[in-house]
Amino acid sequence: MRYSELFGKTSKQIPKDETATNAKLLTRGGFVRKEVAGVYNYLPLGLLVLDKIANIVREEMNVAGGQEVLLSALQSRSNWEKTGRWKSFDVLFKVKSQFKAEYALGPTHEEVLVPIVRDRVSSYRDLPLYLFQIQNKFRDEPRAKAGLLRGREFLMKDLYSFHTDESDMMRYYDVMRASYKKVFARCGLSAIETKAGGGTFSEFSHEYQVICEAGEDEIIYCPGGDFAENAEIAKVKEGKQCDLGHGPLKKVKTIEVGNIFPLKDKFSKAFGLTYKNKEGRDEFVIMGCYGIGISRLMGAIVEVLHDERGIIWPEQVAPFRVHLLVISDEGLVISQAEDIYNKLTRAGVEVLWDDREDTSAGEKFADADLIGIPARLVVSRKTGKDKVEWKERDKKETGVISYKEVIERLKGG
Ligand code: ATP
Ligand code: MG
């Protein structure tokens, strides 16, 4: 992609109405534009990142046997009344139609999915079943000042699992735990699996927490890796010695990027979701649910991986693999840059080429740092024929290498 043609350019202005680092950097970088508080539009660069994260999540859910669906955002009021959540769900958006009807604007999808599954599952042979979607959720959050971390409209992956009994649900719960670890590692983050409360219908749940000062959660954990609990529920105190001798437990601020939850029969009971067991008796289906905040994950990556100059995307979710700058207005140098752009593109490398003619070298370097693509290539009068300067976004060193080596490095990595 030629930067001169890209819709959504960088901006030097720090957005006045943003306090969160992720919102400031993503807005200045041309990734997003705020619509209203807690609601963001994704411009082409931003959508490239969001889609990469969503695809990592989708791949891992498919590996875990999930089948993808797309459920409605406008939801039946009467189903929300059946579970009592029309009144009790504190951040539910309610939408009035001009034709009298009222809808819930989906913050989560148990009320939609459980009735669908009830009509299609009748026997133990139909179970287990794993359904997921990647879709915008709506929540009337009181504070929406943290950019992508807390949206009123945001992208979530939600998977729901359906089982004959609790032990099968717990078997799949462990499958999801393993999938979640892979998802966050592939997104370049280290997420701590943290024990949390289970609300009214379960003793526990697990949250995936990324250490970050900008987070709204707090956890108490052992840096040796054998213990982590949400500070809200934890009985132990910071400073207590870890039982396995790893030293004192620490309390840190975190961002919750995902959580998994045994729902048991709460929603099956509300909607009469039963199956016939081997003896022909009706039993309630046992459920689990598993969420990942995909847009929050994008915000969390920016919060954790940036410096004073801009974002530092991990390779797997970067909008492009390499950022090519041409620093000269001489025809020969420009044609050299064009040549490497074509070679990289043909080799299947995603490259953003800053081909602007009216922009200084300093501005191009600053923009490359702000946008945060993992590798930067510079073609200038100094680099010479078939050579290019290579620099990684998170390193200081630069070096001049041949085109051939560039392609080898990029294809290998
Ligand atoms: P939180 O405690 O942060 O409000 P939650 O416990 O309400 O989150 P769930 O309802 O389980 O979260 O949603 C699943 C995932 O969706 C969360 O782990 C989080 O990553 C993400 N998420 C929840 N609320 C928001 C929001 N308002 N904006 C962005 N992502 C969100
Ligand atoms: Mg919430």
Span 124-165, pLDDT tens digits: 999 999 999 999 999 999 999 999 999 999 999 999 999 999
**Ligand positioned closest to the Cα atom of 296:** 1
Query: How large is the average pLDDT for residues 274-280?
Result: 98
154 lines ligand 1 (CB under 6 A): yes
Q: Which ligand is nearest to the CA of 140?
A: 1
Provide the percentage of residues in the chain whose pLDDT is more than 90.
92
Instruction: Tell whether ligand 1 has an atom less than 6 A from the beta carbon of residue 106.
Output: no
Q: From the CA of 90, how far away is ligand 1's center (Å)?
A: 13
Q: What is the mean pLDDT of the chain?
A: 96
Whether a cis peptide bond, with omega within 30° of 0, leads into 314 is no
Banded pLDDT at 166 (limits 50, 70, 90): very high
The CA distance from 269 to 271, in Å, is: 5
Tell me phi and psi for residue 131, to 5 degrees: -120, 135
Which residue do the tokens 């990289």 mark? 344
Is residue 199's pLDDT more than 90? no
Atom of ligand 1 nearest to the CA of 292: 15
Spacing, Cα 256 to ligand 2 middle (Å)? 10
Q: Please, which contacts does 270-273 make with residues 24 or more away whose CB atoms are closer than 8 Å?
A: 270/82, 270/83, 270/114, 271/79, 271/82, 271/114, 271/115, 271/118, 272/118, 273/114, 273/117, 273/118, 273/121, 273/162
The first and second tokens of residue 346, run together, are 């043909």
Decide if 200 contacts 262 (C-beta within 8 A): no
Mean pLDDT, range 160-186, rounded to an integer: 98
Average pLDDT over residues 175-183: 98
pLDDT above 90 for 198: no
User: Which residues are CB-neighbours of 390 under 8 A, at least 6 positions away?
Assistant: 375, 376, 377, 398, 399, 400, 401, 406, 409
Residues 295-305 have a mean pLDDT of 98
Which option is the CATH number for 322-412: 3.40.50.10540, 3.40.50.620, 3.40.1080.10, 3.40.50.800?
3.40.50.800
CATH number for the domain running over 3-307: 3.30.930.10
- Return the biggest CA–CA distance within the chain: 82
- pLDDT band, very low/low/confident/very high, at 412 (cuts 50, 70, 90): low
User: pLDDT for 59-114, tens place per residue?
Assistant: 999 999 999 999 999 999 999 999 999 999 999 999 999 999 999 999 999 999 99
Closest-approaching ligand to the CA atom of 217: 1
Predicted local confidence at residue 384, as pLDDT: 82
What residues does each domain of the chain span? 3-307, 322-412
For ligand 1, atom 22, name the residue with the nearest CA: 293
- Considering every ligand atom shown, identify the ligand nearest to the alpha carbon of residue 256 and give its number: 1
Is the CB of residue 134 less than 8 Å from the CB of residue 58? yes
Q: Is the CB of 128 under 6 A from ligand 1?
A: no
Full-model pTM: 0.97
Q: Is the CB of 299 under 6 A from ligand 1?
A: no
Does 413 score more than 60 pLDDT?
Answer: no
pLDDT value, residue 252:
97
Over residues 314-320, the mean pLDDT reads 98
Q: 246 vs 222, 237, 249, CA distance in Å?
A: 7, 15, 8
**Residue 180, ligand 1, Cβ within 6 A:** no
The closest alpha carbon to 291, from 165, 196, 167, belongs to 196
For ligand 1, say whether the CB of 376 is within 6 Å of any of its atoms: no
For 258-288, b/e burial (b = at least 16 CB within 10 A) is bbbbbbbbbbbebbebbbeeeeeeeebbbbb
pLDDT for 303: 98
Residue closest via CA to ligand 1's atom 31 equals 293
Torsion angle of C-alpha atoms 340, 345, 347, 348, degrees rounded to 10: 150
Q: How far apart are CA 198 and CA 204, in angstroms?
A: 4
Q: Is the CB of 139 under 6 A from ligand 1?
A: yes
Question: Which residue, among 391, 337, 339, has the nearest Cα to 365 in the 3D structure?
Answer: 391
Is 300 a pocket residue for ligand 1 (Cβ < 6 Å)? no
Mean pLDDT over 381-404 rounds to 94
Rounded distance, CA 291 to CA 57, Å?
A: 11
Find out whether the beta carbon of 217 lies less than 6 Å from any atom of ligand 1. Answer: no
Structure confidence at residue 201 (pLDDT): 72
Give the per-residue pLDDT at 128: 98
User: What span, in angstroms and rounded, lies between the C-alpha atoms of 372 and 376?
Assistant: 9
Which residue among 92, 136, 137 is best mutated to probe the pocket of ligand 1, counting the most ligand atoms within 8 A of its Cβ? 137
